[in-house]
Amino acid sequence: MSKPVPITLDDIVSRTSDLPTFSASALEVMRQADSATARAESLAEIISQDQSLSARVLRLANSAYYGLERKITNLPEGVVVLGTRTIKNLAMVAATYPWMSRPLRGYGLEPKQLWHHSFGTALGSQLIAKMSGKCDDQTAFTSGLLHDIGKVALCVWIDEKLRAIVYYAEREGITFDEAERKILGYDHCEVGERLAENWNLPEDVMLAIRYHHSPSDCPTHNPLVDCVHIGGYVTMSMGFGLGGDGLHYRLDSGCFDRLQIKLEDLDEITDNFVLMYEKYESMFLELAA
């Protein structure tokens, strides 16, 4: 009997029929919002090409959260009310929610568990970026939201291997991503980096996806990677999205030295994280759904 042919990283990206995708409008909103010359009119023009995103922008602008006395009826005004940063986050959340809310059986994740973990990591990463002042907090939000996209593509291939990976991680005392690499030859971080490259996302975001479990291995020691690593750890410690790999997350203390924050600051970070999550999660989740 011939041995089964192993699935390569290229196979994952080229042969998976239901890869996560971004709408063209969401990607363009992200790029334009990051531009120093971004204008409300140009963002509104892009958003207008996506009916569902247009509705979400107007709905959020008219929500009780902003407490305006008059109704916002046009997109340029809605963009001004929300600001480019909120518009970018809303576009990213709306674009990723459909495939982040699915169950990922290969990782032991029930419906919406990946969403809760990814959104929590986005908020945690943003909070840490603000605290450290070492990188842009909105890019940290984006990177945190996307850090586990490799799981979406890889889960269909590891469905029957999850138990073996978890067992191997426990037996060897290693992290889940280390066990993935031992058994598969690559991990979900590398798959995610390849997807981000296909989407033409910024290099910093790709690095955060690739090294979020092992920030000290990042060739450039990028502070964005450190923020996402700690953000993911805080989210895991709060119990958001604990799948098959949830108990195998090793905190890299070198992140704190590089960001010039103290390990003792984790308590403050966690307290602020809970407040931010309760404040934003229901609002963004309702709009995304």
Q: Nearest CA to 196 among 235, 137, 142, 136?
A: 142
- Partnered with residue 115 across adjacent β-strands are none
Q: Nearest CA to 119 among 143, 151, 155?
A: 143
Type of residue numbered 287 = L
Three-class secondary structure of residue 109 per DSSP: strand
| Dist CA 270 CA 274 (whole Å) | 6
The whole-model pTM stands at: 0.85
Placement of tokens 């586990």 in the chain: 148
How many C-alpha atoms does 123 have within 13 Å on its Cβ side? 26
Q: What is the pLDDT along the chain (289 residues), one digit of tens a residue?
A: 334 456 778 777 776 666 677 778 888 888 888 777 778 888 888 888 888 888 888 888 887 666 777 888 888 888 888 888 888 888 888 888 888 888 887 777 888 888 889 989 999 999 999 999 999 998 899 999 999 999 888 887 776 677 788 788 888 888 788 888 888 888 889 999 998 888 888 899 999 999 999 999 999 889 999 999 999 999 888 877 666 565 567 889 899 999 999 888 888 888 888 888 877 776 666 666 5
